[in-house]
Amino acid sequence: MKSLPIGREAPLARPSQRASNRDRSKIAFLSDAELLRRYRRLYPTPTKFQAARLEVIEAELRSGGPEGDAWRKRQLALMGDVSQFMKLVKQRFSVWFNKSHRRYGTLWAERFKSLLVEPTGRAIETVAAYVDLNPVRAGLVDDPKDYRFCGYGEAVAGNPDAQRGLLSLRNETDWSTAQASYRLALFGTAAAPRAHAASISPEALQQVVATGGKLPLTTLLRCRIRHFTDGAVLGSQAFVQQQLAAYRTLHHRRARTAVRPMPALTDWGGLATLRGLRRPALG
């Protein structure tokens, strides 16, 4: 499965993780021509029913009819909705995969998980490194640059969109400088990783947790950190508090949670999360 241009993403069998700062205020201003263009890209080979219906929709949009109005509202409502987006991606991929491999039935084992990440500073940088290290945690490669479905791997291979994303992430204009600084975030060194140099066994990790010890961030990022999938919101304490206040306002009730700092196992740079985790959060 190819990386999707939502942010920086490394699709694996694990639940989806992404860092996105889409500006939803721009969605309402999309023209009808742009909506139709996106719809055709989404359905490049429409059924006879879809093709005939789209002709009706185009006529309704031109005349300002109620059916065109309703279609426009439905398309705009789908944009910026992570749940609807993932539902569509998983459905379309399942249809393609089942047809290609002559199989049928369910393909995905579980629901996706999403995390609202503060789009600037330490939060987005840490989550980007964690996502790019997915194939390392899975034992597929020793270096994420060797994994073709990884944003960092695509950037190293010369993909201009992936390189622009990494430049933006590191707030740099020079690719060589951005790549070197990002490798420091991944490995604690700009050189190639040494075998098992930054890994830790689950038993050793639990011993560190039990004794209140500390670990380098580059080592901890090679462990599974459930705050990055189940924490709901990740960012500075002010950012998480802002999202909690917005939730209370939107639902007109008091949320049964509070801003929670990340476990004191490393220097997180002031990161906090929203949801408390009952099961072991690290592994």
* Residue 79 to residue 214: CA distance in whole angstroms: 42
Residues 63 and 143 in one domain: no
Q: Does 7 map to a domain?
A: no
Q: Is pLDDT above 70 for 162?
A: yes
Do 228 and 234 touch, CB atoms closer than 8 A? Answer: yes
For 14-18, 114-118, 190-194, 221-225, which range has the lowest pLDDT when averaged over its residues?
A: 14-18
Instruction: Classify residue 169: in a domain, yes or no.
Output: yes
User: 130 and 54, same structural domain?
Assistant: no
Check whether residue 74 and residue 208 sit in a common domain: no
Higher pLDDT, 2 or 165: 165
**pLDDT tens digits for 242-279?**
998 888 888 777 667 788 899 888 889 899 998 878 77
Indicate if 35 and 159 belong to the same structural domain: no
Residue 31: give the domain boundaries. Answer: 24-79
Q: Is residue 102 part of a domain?
A: no
Does residue 97 fall inside a structural domain?
no
**Residue from 215, 226, 192, 230 nearest 114 by CA:** 230
CA 266 to centroid of chain Cα atoms: 23
Percent over 70 (pLDDT), the chain? 80
Q: 105 lies in a domain? A: no
266 shares a domain with 208 = yes
- Between 48-63 and 66-78, two packed helices, what is the crossing angle to 10 degrees? 110
- Residues 154, 33: one domain? no
Same domain, yes or no, for 194 and 245? yes
Q: Note whether 193 and 142 are within 8 A (CB).
A: yes
| Confidence band for 201, pLDDT divided at 50, 70 and 90 | low
Secondary structure of residue 7 in the 3-state scheme: coil
The answer to whether position 85 is within a domain reads no
Cβ atoms of residues 112 and 9 within 8 Å: no
Residue of 198 and 172 predicted with greater confidence: 172
Report the distance separating Cα 160 and Cα 154, nearest Å. 9
Domain boundary among 62, 79, 96: 79
Per the prediction, the chain carries an average pLDDT of: 79
HEC-encoded secondary structure of 129-176 = HHHHCHHHHCCCCCCHHHCCCCHHHHHHCCCHHHHHHHHHHHCCCCHH
pLDDT tens-digit series, residues 97-144 = 999 999 988 888 878 888 899 988 889 999 999 999 999 888 898 888
| Contact status, residue 209 vs residue 282, Cβ threshold 8 Å | yes
Q: According to the model, what pLDDT value does residue 272 have?
A: 92
Residue 157 domain flag: yes
Is 266 in the same domain as 146? yes
Residues 124 and 28 in one domain: no
In a domain, 126, yes or no: yes
Cβ burial 103-115 (10 Å sphere, 16+ → b, else e): eeeeeeeeebbbb
Strands 233-236 and 260-261: unpaired
Same-domain check for residues 38 and 136: no
More confident residue, 105 or 209: 105
Residue 118 sits in the same domain as residue 174: yes
130 and 234 within one domain: yes
Rounded to whole angstroms, how far apart are CA atoms 250 and 140? 43
Q: How many domains does the chain have?
A: 2
